[in-house]
């Protein structure tokens, strides 16, 4: 079905919808991964965004029920150069097109993704709209400019869990009941495993798998859980998850983190580092086109080694605003010299901008989960 993508600056791209009629908008970004499209689709950090894959052929290994990173598809639309309708993989249970269609998410192909990527790299990530109903470039561009901007929006509230739950053996396990008190009696494996409270700002399942594999009993709690409740749980550690959008309007999480500083060892990734940065008095800003891919080079300043990392974020912490009397910068992005990690010199706290669980992506940074465990044991 003939379709058109129009960006807010008036640039348009003819394309095709292989999932039927559509009329949807969002911020247009690109991802440089050659594989892992199912994990990308289900990553809550992509909420409100239309994702363009720079690798040309997508869909060739289909979809399976094991590689999801959340309960459902999170992107607003999925854009590619060529869609492979007939997958070939022993794990595949359905095609990409059928998967997108079942969720009501547009699948778009026959679009010049190289031209779109080059345009975004030059002009920056911007709002866009894809439609099979309205093919007028002028009308679509006007509508694209009416879409709410990513800056200033709290998207965490739309993706966080409604109730706390345990993560065990790759399954969400409900707390005894929704009315059970959240205090230190709730832990089921206290003494056998380290107790970790994970604040859910849009957490990926593979993060929970990695924490469990590292020997932790993980309790996931909603983003608006009060600091008093978390203190009453008496955890061995606190984890701050990834999530979508601008960290600045997520003021309730920033205030919670500020009140929890020093209470227990803390580890944050992606949105987590931005929120803890704000809690420490730093500022954040929007990147030109973000970091979305599985091949981002990061230098570990303590080991001098280069780690190839998986990343997905459009905002970053301004390292110039960090109080470096208390904060030590530990990781730097080698593409643009932006901040990728820091630790606190006095408190048991560290955070990174990239995804050490790397699903999809390389495992260079998986050691950070062991460092978190070591920090909890030392404390």
- Tell me the two tokens of residue 248: 């600045």
pLDDT at position 177: 63
* pTM of the entire predicted model: 0.96
Alpha carbon 67 to its chain's center: 15
Number of H helices, E strands in the chain: 10, 20
Strands 49-53 and 284-300: unpaired
- Tell me the two tokens of residue 67: 């590689």
Taking the C-alpha atoms of residue 332 and residue 319, their distance in angstroms, rounded to an integer, is: 10
Per-residue pLDDT tens listing for the chain (379 residues): 999 999 999 999 999 999 999 999 999 999 999 999 999 999 999 999 999 999 999 999 999 999 999 999 999 999 999 999 999 999 999 999 999 999 999 999 999 999 999 999 999 999 999 999 999 999 999 999 999 999 999 999 999 999 999 999 999 998 876 666 789 999 999 999 999 999 999 999 999 999 999 999 999 999 999 999 999 999 999 999 999 999 999 999 999 999 999 999 999 999 999 999 999 999 999 999 999 999 999 999 999 999 999 999 999 999 999 999 999 999 999 999 999 999 999 999 999 999 999 989 999 999 999 999 999 999 8
Least Cα distance to 353 among 372, 371, 329, 374 occurs for 329
Which residue shows structure tokens 């010199």?
Answer: 345
Any catalytic annotation for residue 355? Answer: yes
3-class DSSP string for 52-97: EECCCEECCCCECCCCCCCCCCCCCEEECCEECCCCCCCCCCECHH
pLDDT at position 126: 97
Which DSSP helix (H) or strand (E) runs through 344?
A: strand 339-344
Taking the C-alpha atoms of residue 239 and residue 282, their distance in angstroms, rounded to an integer, is: 19
Structural contact between residues 96 and 83, judged by C-beta atoms closer than 8 angstroms? yes
Among residues 217, 313, 355, 359, which one is catalytic? Answer: 355
Which residue shows structure tokens 């999809």?
Answer: 360
Any catalytic annotation for residue 22? Answer: no
Among residues 69, 344, 357, 359, which one is catalytic? Answer: 357
CB 379: neighbour CB atoms within 10 A?
A: 10
pLDDT at position 181: 77
Which residue shows structure tokens 């993560």?
Answer: 167
Among residues 270, 291, 292, 340, which one is catalytic? Answer: 270
DSSP calls for 233-300? H--SEEEE---SS-STT-HHHHHHHHHHTTTS-EEEETHHHHHHHHHTT--EEEEEEEEEEEEEEEEE
Domains and CATH numbers, the chain: 2-145 (3.50.30.20), 161-378 (3.40.50.880)
DSSP classification of residue 149? P
Q: Give the relative orientation of helices 205-213 and 367-378 as an angle to the nearest 10 degrees.
A: 50
Contacts 24+ apart (CB under 8 A), 342-349: 342/273, 342/277, 342/317, 344/280, 347/261, 347/262, 347/266, 348/262, 348/264, 348/265, 348/266, 348/375, 348/378, 348/379, 349/261, 349/262, 349/265, 349/266, 349/267, 349/276
């Amino acid at each position: 079905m003939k379709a058109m993508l129009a960006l807010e600056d008036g640039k348009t791209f003819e394309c095709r919808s292989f999932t039927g009629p559509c009329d949807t908008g969002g911020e247009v970004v690109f991802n440089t991964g050659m594989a892992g499209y199912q994990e990308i689709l289900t990553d809550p950090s992509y909420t409100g965004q239309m994702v363009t894959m720079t690798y040309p052929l997508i869909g060739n290994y289909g979809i399976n029920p094991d590689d999801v990173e959340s309960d459902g598809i999170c992107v607003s639309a999925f854009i590619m150069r060529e869609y492979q309708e007939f997958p070939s993989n022993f794990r595949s249970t359905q095609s990409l097109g059928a998967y997108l269609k079942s969720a009501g998410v547009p699948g778009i192909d026959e679009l010049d993704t190289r031209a779109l990527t080059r345009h975004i790299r030059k002009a920056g990530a911007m709002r866009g709209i894809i439609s099979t109903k309205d093919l007028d470039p002028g009308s679509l561009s006007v509508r694209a400019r009416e879409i709410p901007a990513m800056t200033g929006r709290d998207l965490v509230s739309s993706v966080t869990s409604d109730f706390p739950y345990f993560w065990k053996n790759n399954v969400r396990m409900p707390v005894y009941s929704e009315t059970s008190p959240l205090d230190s009696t709730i832990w089921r494996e206290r003494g056998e495993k380290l107790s970790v409270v994970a604040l859910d700002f849009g957490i990926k399942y593979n993060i929970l798998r990695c924490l469990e594999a590292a020997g932790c009993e993980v309790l996931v709690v909603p983003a608006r859980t009060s600091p008093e409740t978390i203190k009453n749980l008496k955890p061995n550690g606190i984890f701050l998850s990834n999530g979508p959008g601008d960290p600045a309007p997520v003021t309730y999480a920033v205030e919670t983190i500020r009140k929890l500083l020093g209470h227990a060892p803390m580890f944050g990734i992606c949105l987590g580092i931005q929120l803890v940065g704000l809690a420490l008095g730093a500022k954040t800003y929007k990147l030109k086109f973000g970091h979305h891919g599985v091949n981002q080079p990061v230098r570990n300043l303590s080991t001098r080694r280069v780690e190839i990392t998986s990343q997905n974020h459009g905002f970053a912490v301004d390292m110039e605003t960090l109080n470096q009397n208390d904060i030590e910068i530990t990781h730097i992005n080698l593409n643009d010299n932006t901040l990728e990690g820091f630790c606190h010199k006095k408190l048991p706290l560290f955070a990174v901008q990239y995804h050490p669980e790397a699903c999809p992506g390389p495992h260079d940074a998986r050691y950070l989960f062991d460092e978190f465990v070591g920090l909890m044991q030392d404390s």
